[in-house]
Chains A and B, each alone.
Chain A
């Protein structure tokens, strides 16, 4: 539905708004929105990984007590500022991951020589993934060498990122513009 470059640009803009958001409540709300967007994009999400990483970040921040003591568990003091700081960092970390997941399509191509280089690398990557030869631990070097030669010897056709480009999609652009606008509005509203 969305052109890859437009989606990536919207993702970059929303990432900046998300990063600059100071309110923990608004950031949490935005996090739920980007989680939904990443899920709707059809990307593979790991909620277990999100929970483990977030819990790790919060726990690490709690190790250094800062602010009002909320609870004491043996030698460990649970402090308010450290808890809020940890939750904020976890939300930023995981939020940016999910914004990226929602906005970066594998078909995204950069312009110029560097873009052409990346596109050629993706052509080779597809060949590696499609390679059907055996890779055995006992003959790893020989097998890897055979794979390198096979992939390299096939002529490299020019990657065609233009082929998929369709006409203008007003609804898609409007949707992305609305999402970017919605991400920036809370920055200008005083609580």
Chain B
């Protein structure tokens, strides 16, 4: 199958794979950092590790973008040894929700919405979905007690990540090079 692939297509595929893997690795790294941040519920995610996904929203085509989200969830679950637990379910639901929301916002509004707006949208929706799952399988109605601080934390981290992503995309030589290689 690979032998019949056009060389340019194969080279492009390799570049996509390379950038997806690199961004996935940064997700693992940021996830390890996030693990050290105290949270109201230790197993829930604030979304710091979604920064590479936010950066990828403008870089990667949809299939590679979704692959990045899945690489992040699987890799983080392997590193933390939580693959068969509810923690992985929280991570999967939160990551896919944030990824799809950020992608949709970017595609629907283009440059009319800033990285800060995209990031806040992804973080708040991700946290809301995690709270909904927590209500279903762990906490029941008592989840309303932890929801306000958790959603507020999502708002704050979303805003901070958005500011950082905006600045990074504007100044980074790596980001400029990756954009050139992928979009010509």
Contacts and interface: CB of A to CB of B under 8 A. Distances in A.
Interface of A: 8, 11-12, 15, 43, 49, 52-53, 56-57, 59-61, 63-64, 89, 92-93, 96-97, 99-104, 106, 108, 110, 114, 116-118, 120-125, 127-129, 140-142, 144-145, 148-149, 151-152, 156
B156 interface: no
Contacts of A123: 21, 25
B77 A100 contact: yes
Given A117-B67, A125-B75, A57 B171 contact: no
B143 interface: yes
A123 B43 CA distance: 26
Interface in B45-83: 67, 70-71, 74-75, 77-79, 81-83
Contacts of A120: 17-18, 21
Nearest to B87: A97
Contact of B139 (A60, A104, A122, A145): A60
Contact of B142 (A43, A64, A151, A152): A64
A35 to B, nearest CB: 13
Contacts of A12: 84
7 contacts: A53-B42, A117-B21, A118-B74, A121-B25, A122-B25, A142-B171, A148-B172
Contacts of B26: 124, 128, 148
Contacts of B139: 57, 60-61
B173 interface: yes
Contacts of B174: 145, 148-149, 152
B11 interface: no
Given A52-B42, A53-B43, A96-B85, A117 B29 contact: no
Per DSSP, are chain B's interface residues mostly helix, strand or loop, or mixed? helix
B147 to A, nearest CB: 12
B83 A110 contact: no
Contact of A117 (B17, B42, B78, B83): B17
Contacts, number: 147
Interface residues of B, number: 47
Contacts of A118: 24, 71, 74-75, 78
A104 B175 CA distance: 34
A11 B75 CA distance: 17
B25 A125 contact: yes
B85 A93 contact: yes
A121 B28 contact: yes
Given A93-B86, A118-B75, A61 B142 contact: yes
Contact of A121 (B21, B42, B142): B21
A89 B78 CA distance: 23
Given A121-B24, A148-B174, A99 B142 contact: no
Nearest to B67: A117
B41 interface: yes
Contact of A106 (B43, B79, B88, B177): B79
